[in-house]
A = this chain, B = another copy of it.
Amino acid sequence: MALKTLSAEKAAALDKELMSDGAFSLDQLMELAGLSVSQAVYKFHPPGKGKKVLVACGPGNNGGDGLVAARHLKMYGYEPTMYYPKRPKNELYERLTKQLQDFEIAFTEDFPSALKSTDLVVDAIFGFSFSGAVREPFAEVIEAMETTKTPVLAVDAPSSWNIGSGPPESGPGKNFQPNALISLTAAKPLVKWYKGRHFVGGRFLSKAMAEKYDLDAPAYQGVDQIVEVPLQDQKL
């Protein structure tokens, strides 16, 4: 069974519709998305495997999901460290950052050093709105995630990958294969090139919205906000 995917254009349209006709606020959606990310981390890498989690956040909403996830991870008993080098002036991101400071979560400006002593990396740098070339400081960070032996869980997309056409042909990310990926709302076409464990999260689509965007309803269990999708389901 092929997994239905959501192109970058459709993902942007769906987000926009959720926040207009759908009456969701970005605060609300980001809280649920980040909660899903934290649950995927727990499933992929439970605290018994090591509690240190380095969360790399980009300047947009993918980074915001990482900020929310880190707060929940702290509540679950992890020890997150944030790498958040580019912070646009944005009221929501500023509040999410303040929350992390109140939770006594450390921030680092030195990703390579932090990488040496972490048990897991969360890649929340770029999401479905990314395209084009990776610039510093993220080029260096993506190269480090590409070569590290430490497991990496990517949020919505392995950073540097094109949402439609997968890994870049050259430059940072060319050989980047995270060990886990959580697709938010629905998988993006890039999953065709992806080989690790795959989770779907973001349990907030009405049946009408899922039908309108021609998406499968993931087989969520109980109160779980995420579900693991077997690899054979994602061959396209």
Chain A positions near chain B (C-beta within 8 angstroms): 21-25, 27-28, 31-32, 35, 38-39, 42, 71-72, 75-76, 92, 94-96, 98-99, 102-104, 203-204, 206-209, 220, 222-223
Q: For the complex, what is the distance from the CA of A207 to the CA of B203, rounded to whole Å?
A: 28
28 CB-based A-B contacts, threshold 8 Å:
A21-B102, A22-B102, A23-B94, A23-B96, A23-B98, A23-B99, A23-B102, A25-B92, A25-B95, A27-B27, A27-B31, A28-B28, A28-B31, A31-B31, A39-B223, A42-B223, A71-B204, A75-B203, A75-B220, A76-B222, A76-B223, A102-B208, A102-B209, A103-B206, A103-B207, A104-B206, A104-B207, A104-B208
Minimum CB–CB distance from A133 to chain B (whole Å) comes to: 34
Given the complex, which residues of B lie within 8 Å of A222, measured CB to CB?
42, 76
Are B23 and A95 in contact (CB-based, < 8 A)? yes
Please indicate the chain B residues that have their CB under 8 angstroms from the CB of A72 in the complex.
203, 223
Residue of B nearest to A46 (CB): B222
Q: Give A208 to B103 CA distance when docked, in angstroms.
A: 8
Query: Bound complex: CA of A215 vs CA of B214, how far in Å?
Result: 47
CB <8 Å contact, A206 and B27: no
CB-CB under 8 A from A92, the residues of chain B are 25
> Please, which residue of chain B has its CB at the minimum distance from the CB of A43?
B223
Considering only CB atoms, which chain B residue lies closest to A203 in the complex?
Answer: B75
Residue of B nearest to A42 (CB): B223
In the bound complex, residues from chain B placing their C-beta under 8 Å from that of A99 are 22-24
Report the Cα distance A42→B208, complex, angstroms: 24
Which residues in B have their C-beta under 8 angstroms from that of A95?
23-25
Assembly CA distance A204 to B203 (angstroms):
20
